[in-house]
A = this chain, B = another copy of it.
Amino acid sequence: MIDNNVPTERSGETPCPKGKIERFIEPCLLLLLAEKSAHGYELMDNLEQFGFDPRCQDPGQIYRYLRRMETEGLVESAWESGDSGPARRSYQITGDGLSLLASWMKTLEKRITIINKLITRYQQTIQKGDV
Protein backbone atom coordinates (compact mmCIF):
# COMPACT_ATOMS: atom_id res chain seq x y z
CA MET A 1 0.00 0.00 0.00
CA ILE A 2 2.85 2.31 0.79
CA ASP A 3 5.42 3.51 -1.68
CA ASN A 4 8.57 1.56 -0.89
CA ASN A 5 11.37 2.64 -3.14
CA VAL A 6 13.83 1.49 -0.51
CA PRO A 7 17.26 -0.01 -1.31
CA THR A 8 17.96 -3.66 -1.96
CA GLU A 9 15.29 -6.35 -1.54
CA ARG A 10 16.35 -8.97 0.96
CA SER A 11 15.38 -12.35 -0.48
CA GLY A 12 13.08 -14.71 1.39
CA GLU A 13 13.83 -13.01 4.68
CA THR A 14 12.12 -10.13 6.37
CA PRO A 15 11.00 -7.48 3.90
CA CYS A 16 12.70 -4.12 3.52
CA PRO A 17 11.72 -1.63 6.17
CA LYS A 18 8.69 0.34 5.08
CA GLY A 19 8.15 2.18 8.35
CA LYS A 20 4.41 2.00 7.98
CA ILE A 21 2.33 3.43 10.77
CA GLU A 22 -0.37 1.20 12.17
CA ARG A 23 -3.85 2.21 10.97
CA PHE A 24 -2.34 5.30 9.35
CA ILE A 25 -5.06 5.33 6.73
CA GLU A 26 -7.53 6.35 9.42
CA PRO A 27 -6.13 9.83 10.21
CA CYS A 28 -5.57 10.38 6.49
CA LEU A 29 -9.20 9.63 5.67
CA LEU A 30 -10.39 11.74 8.60
CA LEU A 31 -8.29 14.70 7.50
CA LEU A 32 -9.46 14.49 3.89
CA LEU A 33 -13.06 14.36 5.10
CA ALA A 34 -12.43 17.25 7.48
CA GLU A 35 -11.30 19.24 4.46
CA LYS A 36 -14.38 18.26 2.48
CA SER A 37 -16.94 15.48 2.19
CA ALA A 38 -16.13 12.84 -0.39
CA HIS A 39 -16.79 9.30 -1.54
CA GLY A 40 -14.41 6.36 -1.35
CA TYR A 41 -13.16 6.35 -4.89
CA GLU A 42 -12.28 10.02 -4.65
CA LEU A 43 -10.49 9.53 -1.32
CA MET A 44 -8.46 6.75 -2.88
CA ASP A 45 -6.81 9.23 -5.24
CA ASN A 46 -6.16 11.80 -2.54
CA LEU A 47 -4.47 9.27 -0.28
CA GLU A 48 -1.59 9.32 -2.72
CA GLN A 49 -0.47 12.57 -1.11
CA PHE A 50 0.21 10.69 2.11
CA GLY A 51 2.45 8.07 0.63
CA PHE A 52 -0.18 5.53 -0.36
CA ASP A 53 0.02 3.95 -3.77
CA PRO A 54 -1.65 5.84 -6.56
CA ARG A 55 -4.43 3.67 -7.99
CA CYS A 56 -4.03 1.61 -4.90
CA GLN A 57 -4.10 -2.16 -5.39
CA ASP A 58 -6.35 -2.60 -2.39
CA PRO A 59 -9.41 -0.39 -2.72
CA GLY A 60 -11.16 -2.86 -0.45
CA GLN A 61 -9.22 -1.62 2.52
CA ILE A 62 -10.45 1.94 2.10
CA TYR A 63 -14.08 0.93 1.80
CA ARG A 64 -13.75 -1.39 4.76
CA TYR A 65 -12.24 1.37 6.89
CA LEU A 66 -14.96 3.83 5.88
CA ARG A 67 -17.74 1.38 6.76
CA ARG A 68 -16.18 0.62 10.12
CA MET A 69 -15.61 4.28 10.83
CA GLU A 70 -19.29 4.86 10.23
CA THR A 71 -20.31 2.15 12.70
CA GLU A 72 -18.07 3.91 15.20
CA GLY A 73 -19.72 7.25 14.54
CA LEU A 74 -16.61 8.91 13.14
CA VAL A 75 -18.22 9.57 9.78
CA GLU A 76 -21.71 9.49 8.25
CA SER A 77 -22.65 8.47 4.75
CA ALA A 78 -25.41 9.03 2.24
CA TRP A 79 -25.95 7.62 -1.24
CA GLU A 80 -25.62 10.05 -4.08
CA SER A 81 -26.99 8.96 -7.42
CA GLY A 82 -24.71 11.10 -9.52
CA ASP A 83 -25.44 12.27 -13.03
CA SER A 84 -22.88 9.84 -14.42
CA GLY A 85 -21.52 6.47 -13.37
CA PRO A 86 -22.72 4.23 -10.54
CA ALA A 87 -24.07 5.60 -7.27
CA ARG A 88 -21.58 6.91 -4.74
CA ARG A 89 -21.63 6.72 -1.02
CA SER A 90 -20.67 10.18 0.14
CA TYR A 91 -19.04 10.47 3.54
CA GLN A 92 -18.85 13.39 5.91
CA ILE A 93 -16.96 13.65 9.17
CA THR A 94 -18.72 13.92 12.54
CA GLY A 95 -17.81 15.61 15.80
CA ASP A 96 -16.44 12.33 17.13
CA GLY A 97 -14.42 12.01 13.95
CA LEU A 98 -12.93 15.42 14.48
CA SER A 99 -11.93 14.65 18.05
CA LEU A 100 -10.38 11.37 17.07
CA LEU A 101 -8.47 13.20 14.36
CA ALA A 102 -7.22 15.64 17.00
CA SER A 103 -6.00 12.81 19.21
CA TRP A 104 -4.32 11.20 16.20
CA MET A 105 -2.41 14.45 15.68
CA LYS A 106 -1.13 14.44 19.25
CA THR A 107 -0.08 10.83 18.86
CA LEU A 108 1.73 11.54 15.60
CA GLU A 109 3.55 14.51 17.09
CA LYS A 110 4.89 12.26 19.85
CA ARG A 111 5.89 9.73 17.26
CA ILE A 112 7.88 12.34 15.35
CA THR A 113 9.73 13.24 18.52
CA ILE A 114 10.74 9.64 19.02
CA ILE A 115 11.83 9.15 15.43
CA ASN A 116 13.89 12.33 15.59
CA LYS A 117 15.61 11.09 18.72
CA LEU A 118 16.49 7.87 16.92
CA ILE A 119 17.84 9.72 13.89
CA THR A 120 19.91 12.08 15.99
CA ARG A 121 21.48 9.28 17.95
CA TYR A 122 22.16 7.39 14.76
CA GLN A 123 24.03 10.33 13.29
CA GLN A 124 26.06 10.75 16.45
CA THR A 125 26.94 7.07 16.39
CA ILE A 126 28.12 6.87 12.81
CA GLN A 127 30.20 10.01 13.28
CA LYS A 128 32.10 8.19 16.00
CA GLY A 129 33.55 5.86 13.40
CA ASP A 130 31.24 2.84 13.07
CA VAL A 131 30.92 3.62 9.31
| Chain A positions near chain B (C-beta within 8 angstroms) | 6-7, 10, 13-14, 16-24, 26-28, 31, 34-35, 49-51, 68, 72, 98-101, 103-112, 114-119, 121-122, 125-126, 130-131
Partner pick for A19 among B111, B121, B122, B126, CB 8 A cutoff: B111
**Which residues of the other chain, B, contact A18 by a CB distance below 8 angstroms?**
22, 107
Query: Which of chain B's residues has its CB closest to A96's CB?
Result: B10
**Does the CB pair A19–B104 fall under 8 Å?**
yes
The answer for the CA separation of A115 and B98 in the assembled complex, in Å, is 17
6 CB contacts below 8 A, A to B, read: A10-B100, A16-B107, A17-B23, A18-B22, A27-B118, A101-B122
A7 with B103: CB separation less than 8 A = yes
Q: Which residues of B contact A115 (CB under 8 A)?
A: 21, 108, 111-112
Q: Are A31 and B125 in contact (CB under 8 A)?
A: yes
Q: Smallest Cβ distance from A100 to chain B, in angstroms?
A: 7
Across the interface, A17 reaches (CB within 8 A) one of B17, B31, B100, B118, namely: B100
Apart from the given pairs A16-B103, A31-B122, A34-B122, 6 other A-B contacts in the complex at a CB distance below 8 Å: A17-B27, A18-B107, A19-B107, A28-B118, A31-B118, A105-B119
